[in-house]
Amino acid sequence: MSSAKPKVCAGLLARPPSPALRPGEVLVWQGQPCGRALAVGAFHIRAVVLWVCALVFANAVAARAQRLPPWQAVHDIAPLMLLGGLVVAGVAAAAWATGRTTLYTITNQRVLMQYGVALTATLGLPMRLVGAVAVSEGRTGDVPIRLKPGQVVGFAKLWPHARPWRLRRPEPMLRSLPDAGRVAAMLSRTVAEALAAAVDAPAQAGVQAPSRQLAAAGAP
């Protein structure tokens, strides 16, 4: 597992550049999360809206109980409504910026997660460390990646690209993808192919070594 140090984005809210591939590495898939789905799933904007509406309603009920004139009630509640609107707009903007500055990349050797609004970080997961791949689908879906035992990544470092409520064993997650089912199937197949190639490599080396020894023995 590799993790690059955070670095300043080349441009504000810029899409991360495609990562440089290693020799023999092949790009399998690349994509970004949906900002609207991130606002709902990761930033819980619906709960924020309900909270703001509840505060406004409670203040309206209090004003009615005090029998304030309508203009006075509106005057008292207006600052709260303005503040609540700013909070909701801030959450929506944060979700959009997170989606804009995130890039997920799957190659035949690893999974790369580039993310960060002001400071970007890159998390690299070699295929040999991937234990299982799941998917949760709806209008958009998430692809959690369970790591093999002994591999730990900090939850705070991953968020919001982490599976919720997995605090003891955090799981990286490709969030809010329009084609999550296809991506999960592609990743599972790539992991299986990488593991099969890793198993075949020592076997092929073991077959070729005696051939070289016999050739050396038969040489005059």
Mean pLDDT, all residues of the chain:
84
Count of residues for the chain?
A: 220
42-46, 61-65, 167-171, 211-215: which range is least confident on average?
211-215
List pLDDT tens digits, range 118-149. 778 899 999 999 988 988 877 789 999 999 88
Whole-angstrom Cα distance, residue 152 to residue 144? 14
Q: Give me the mean pLDDT over the 36-61 stretch.
A: 93
The residue to which tokens 């898939």 are assigned = 29
List pLDDT tens digits, range 191-207. 999 888 877 655 555 55
Whole-angstrom Cα distance, residue 176 to residue 119? 21
Burial class (CB in 10 A: 0-12, 13-18, 19+), 128: middle
Tell me if the pTM is above 0.85: no
